[in-house]
């Protein structure tokens, strides 16, 4: 545990944020403009697990900063939030300072960095507040209008508070982002919630296979097999606004209909077993062309022969081996491994990558494609 000197608050927070490896979680009722926030937090955090918790009715909310955070995970709002917490990996800064330029440059704020058991307690507190909060759609509420230029900040006596400290320099360049997979950590969180709700509605129909493979079949049923095909209208539309009880009722209703249909579609267990066998660490780096084709043929997205042919002819064997190995067994955030795989392999897009992960480790990763997203939105879950 160490106290921060008042004059070094922004500098020490930036130093923490620049070394982030796993997560940066922020709780602050006031959110200032991105020009200042990027100096306070740097840019390394954009590559990790990101959370922003605020109070949408607090009065000081900058749209540009919200959009930066929301690109990674939907922001959450908790009425009456007054806590200011900055969690970087396993360190926690508890402070009086809002995430604004005024707080860090014109006010005498203090802060304390906690580590170890004390930090874990505050991480748990943050998690509890996060669970209480509601997701905020950035497009659905009014932000603070800038008073001058593009800056949104706390009022400070009509601009008369003197400047006490400087912010750190802006980061030299933004890091590579997660591209099309920036929302993946949020998707995993939503899918886990869906799976929990699914079990709340009854025991698994295929208890011998991983749960995520079974839930995928229900989502496919909503899109392809049910007489009404209710999720098809949600390939582009936003999610339905359903209460928790209504969502549970909908899942229960369609599980009954799926059972009555005869649980169409079989199961994915054989494909999962095959993919896991071929992409095991000792095997994936030795795959031959025939084995690569076998794996690809078992992915739903390559039911189109032309798409399969484009993938097989458009990539050399070594690149496929390395890309699949890094995707499955590499280090670092999964969303970046996914983006790297997408960039390296021609014709191996979002669905192929997410199916590959889902079949290799179905206890951890769901199968995901357009049907998945549409089904979740139909059931009231907010996914992109």
At 215-265, the pLDDT tens digits run 999 999 999 999 999 999 998 888 898 888 999 999 999 999 999 998 876
pLDDT of residue 157: 53
pLDDT tops 50 at residue 34: yes
3-state secondary structure 110-161: CEEEECHHHHHHHHHHHHHHHHHCEECCHHHCCCCCCCECCECCCCCHHHCC
Q: 89-93, 105-109, 295-299, 331-335: which range is least confident on average?
A: 331-335
Averaging pLDDT over each range in 13-17, 46-50, 66-70, which range is the top one? 13-17
The pTM for the full model equals 0.60
pLDDT of residue 256: 95
Distance CA 39, CA 43 (A): 8
Mean pLDDT of 50-56: 92
Nearest CA-CA partner of 279 in 355, 216, 351: 355
The order of strands in the sheet holding 91-95 is 2-4, 111-114, 91-95, 85-88, 23-27, 49-54, 76-77, 134-135
Mean pLDDT of 185-192: 91
pLDDT of residue 174: 46
pLDDT of residue 259: 93
pLDDT tops 80 at residue 329: yes
Mean pLDDT of 106-134: 91
pLDDT tops 70 at residue 322: yes
pLDDT tops 70 at residue 2: no
pLDDT tops 80 at residue 141: no
Give percent above pLDDT 70 in the chain: 92
**Mean of the per-residue pLDDT values of the chain:** 88
pLDDT tops 70 at residue 158: no
What pairs with residue 94 in β-bridges? 85, 112
pLDDT of residue 149: 43
Averaging pLDDT over each range in 19-28, 59-68, 265-274, which range is the top one? 19-28
Give percent above pLDDT 90 in the chain: 57
pLDDT tops 50 at residue 321: yes
What's the burial of 173, exposed, middle or buried (CB within 10 Å: 0-12/13-18/19+)?
A: exposed
What CATH number belongs to 2-142? 3.30.870.10
pLDDT of residue 303: 80
pLDDT tops 70 at residue 4: no
pLDDT tops 90 at residue 118: no
Mean pLDDT of 89-107: 93
pLDDT of residue 287: 96
Q: 62-76, 77-91, 97-111, 171-185: which range is least confident on average?
A: 171-185
pLDDT tops 60 at residue 173: no
């Amino acid at each position: 545990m160490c106290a921060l000197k008042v004059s070094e608050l922004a500098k020490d927070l930036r130093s923490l944020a620049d070394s982030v490896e796993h997560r940066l979680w922020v709780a602050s009722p006031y959110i200032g403009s991105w020009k200042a926030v990027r100096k306070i937090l740097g840019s390394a955090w954009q590559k990790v697990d990101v959370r922003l918790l605020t109070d949408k009715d607090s009065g000081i909310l900058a749209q540009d900063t919200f959009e930066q955070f929301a690109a990674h995970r939907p922001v959450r709002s908790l009425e009456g939030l007054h806590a200011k917490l900055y969690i970087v990996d396993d360190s926690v800064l508890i402070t009086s300072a809002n995430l604004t330029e005024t707080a860090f440059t014109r006010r005498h704020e203090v802060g304390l960095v906690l580590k170890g058991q004390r930090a874990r307690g505050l991480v748990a507190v943050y998690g509890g507040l996060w669970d209480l909060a509601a997701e905020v759609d950035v497009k659905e509420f009014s932000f603070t209008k800038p008073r001058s230029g593009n800056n949104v900040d706390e009022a400070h006596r009509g601009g008369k508070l003197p400047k006490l400290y400087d912010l750190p320099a802006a980061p030299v360049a933004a890091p590579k982002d997660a591209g099309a997979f920036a929302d993946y950590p949020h998707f995993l969180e939503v899918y886990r919630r869906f799976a929990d709700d699914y079990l709340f509605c009854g025991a698994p129909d295929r208890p011998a296979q991983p749960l995520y493979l079974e839930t995928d079949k229900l989502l496919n049923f909503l899109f392809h097999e049910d007489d009404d095909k209710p999720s098809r209208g949600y390939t582009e539309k936003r999610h339905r606004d359903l209460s928790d009880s209504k969502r549970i009722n909908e899942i229960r209703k369609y599980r009954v209909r799926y059972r009555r249909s005869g649980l169409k579609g079989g199961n994915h267990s054989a494909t999962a077993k095959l993919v896991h066998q071929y992409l095991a660490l000792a095997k994936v780096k030795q795959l031959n062309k025939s084995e690569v084709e076998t794996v690809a043929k078992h992915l739903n997205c390559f039911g189109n022969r032309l798409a399969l042919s484009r993938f097989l002819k458009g990539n050399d064997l070594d690149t496929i081996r390395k890309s699949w190995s890094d995707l499955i067994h590499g280090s670092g955030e999964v969303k970046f491994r996914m983006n790297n795989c997408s960039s390296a392999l021609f014709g191996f897009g979002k669905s192929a990558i997410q199916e590959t992960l889902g079949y290799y480790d179905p206890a951890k990763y769901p199968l995901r494609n357009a049907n998945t997203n549409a089904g979740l939105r139909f059931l009231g879950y907010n996914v992109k």
